[in-house]
Amino acid sequence: MASSRRDLAVRAAVDQGLLSAAEPVVALLDTAGIRASAAALTSAFAAVTDAPVLHAFAVKACPLVPVLRLLREAGLGVEVASPGELALARAAGVPPADTVLDSPAKTPAELRQALALGIAVNADNLQELARLDALVASAPTASPLGIRVNPQVGAGSIGALSTATATSKFGVALRDEGARKAVVQACLERPWLTRLHTHTGSQGVPLALMAEGVGEAYALAEDINHAAGRQQIDTLDIGGGLPVDFHSDEETPTYAEYARLLADTVPGLFDGRYGLVTEFGRSLLAKHGTVLARVEYTKTSGGRPIAVTHAGVQLATRTVYAPDAWPLRVLAYDSEGRPRTGEVTVQDVAGPACFAGDLLATGRALPLLHQGDVVAVPDTGAYYFAHHYAYNSLPRPGIHGFTVTGGGAGSGNGGAGGDAGGAGSGSDDAGGAGVVAFTTVRKPQTLAEIVAESGGALADALVG
Ligand SMILES: *Cc1c(COP(=O)(O)O)cnc(C)c1O
């Protein structure tokens, strides 16, 4: 998110009472930023190929209906991996023709529904192909059908997110004894199998390794088509996985860099013989989400200052449990929502949950936080606040989209320059520099909802 837009939004969230003593944690989504990322993705691929490309947003990254609707309006489809995600996509109005189903554990009922709707399905394995055999034989379907392959090109820096290791649970492991031949044979026996799918990247996987995985899938498609004597594989689904910079406001690597790398390393991919599907998630949303939380108390422990805030494990689960793999920035604002200045002090920023490890940041150098201050946690638009973890029955926070008009801060797409004075982070009074309008994307969870979702209507279940 452009820092000038973020500063305006923090100030406005406090001014307009979105963040308050009663509502001490909220999440913000920068609508203009999301639009800009969707446009950057579309134009990056349009610059390297005339082939038809469906950019299917991985719903997993930000499962919110208004976000899916916004991306839909920007021309994107969706990639879903569960009945819940499919329901969200349908609620957002995404048509089946622009929907791809990918989960590794699809039930027969899920497959039947997908084929009845005409949603594209990527089978994860050969057993799933056998299920598809029966369904395809029993009723005609408009669903394009594919199979996921694991090129086994290796891991990135985060093991849990490395999908293309030798022993990954996803897809058919191509380098295993006999596996590649089995996939070719499976395709030759099934004229309706027209797609190959691979998703080799994710946070921590270098672009070159992602491109290598795509190259393996492309080579396999060429082999299948050669063996079939026709263009049986007509579409390659190259997955998502573009990593995100969690250390600054930079939006790197860019889609343009990745598309250019693919064009250089797998040129046949873009020559028009193959339709393409992409499945980016984190890179479309991460930079456009920010959590705001009030500092409830400050103290020192063992000589170290600690700010106890309302943002912790419930919305930054990965960071709290695996802080080295998932560091997040923390930005300090005063109680009015102005960037906090003052002496930089090494301190801990803690969350509200009742276990000692609930820390957003440990030993972080920041202007010393005070009671009533606001901390902003940027880069949390994907896999963070939309992925609530119900520890301590902490409520899901409200999520609000925002737009900025006027003051030169309105329509920038992440660039730092160009703001005509007043909107900068050092400004004492951002009012007049840009008007921030919020719209609710998800309401905060109520206590009544927590009770209802926790068996409230079944209170006698264990005593009756
Ligand atoms: C998670 C996932 C994605 C999205 O990955 P990002 O790293 O968020 O871009 C795409 N495709 C599949 C199959 C996935 O499992």
179 three-state secondary structure: helix
**b/e per residue 254-293 (b: at least 16 CB within 10 A):** bbeebbebbbeebeebbeeebbbbbbbbbbbbbbbbbbbb
What residues contact residue 70 under an 8 Å CB cut-off, 6+ apart? 31, 34, 35
Taking the centre of ligand 1 as the mean of its atom positions, its distance from the CA of residue 242, in whole angstroms, is 9
Q: Could you give the CA distance from residue 179 to residue 115 in angstroms, rounded to a whole number? A: 26
Tokens of 372: 């009533």
241 Cβ inside 6 Å of ligand 1: yes
422, burial (CB in 10 Å: exposed 0-12, middle 13-18, buried 19+):
middle
Does 421 score more than 60 pLDDT? no
383 lines ligand 1 (CB under 6 A): no
Q: Are 445 and 418 in contact (CB under 8 A)?
A: no
Q: Tell me how far the alpha carbon of residue 316 lies from the centroid of ligand 1, in angstroms.
A: 19
pLDDT on residue 1: 67
**pLDDT band at 407, cuts 50/70/90?**
low
Nearest-10 crossing angle of helices 65-73, 83-91: 60
Cα 299 to Cα 296, 304, 343, 355, distances in angstroms: 10, 8, 17, 17
436 Cβ below 6 A of ligand 1: no
Q: Report the mean per-residue pLDDT for the chain.
A: 93
Is 239 near ligand 1, meaning CB less than 6 Å away?
yes
381 lines ligand 1 (CB under 6 A): no
Q: Per mean pLDDT, which range of 143-157, 360-374, 378-392 is the poorest?
A: 143-157
What is the pLDDT, as a whole number, of residue 158?
A: 74
pLDDT confidence of residue 426: 40
41 CA distance to ligand 1 middle (Å): 15
Distance of alpha carbon 28 from alpha carbon 415, whole angstroms: 19
For residue 238, give the nearest of 146, 176, 174 by alpha carbon. Answer: 146
Q: Which atom of ligand 1 is nearest to the CA of 161?
A: 7
217 Cα–ligand 1 center, Å: 16
- 280 within ligand 1 shell (Cβ under 6 A): yes
Q: Is the CB of 279 under 6 A from ligand 1?
A: yes
Residue that is written with structure tokens 């050969």 in the block = 126
Return the best residue to mutate from 99, 197, 202 for the ligand 1 pocket (most ligand atoms within 8 A of CB).
202
What does the pLDDT read at residue 418?
36
pLDDT digits (tens, 9 = 90+) for 158-199: 776 677 777 788 899 999 999 999 999 999 999 999 999 999
What average pLDDT does range 52-64 have in this prediction?
Answer: 98
Instruction: Give the type of residue at 7.
Output: D
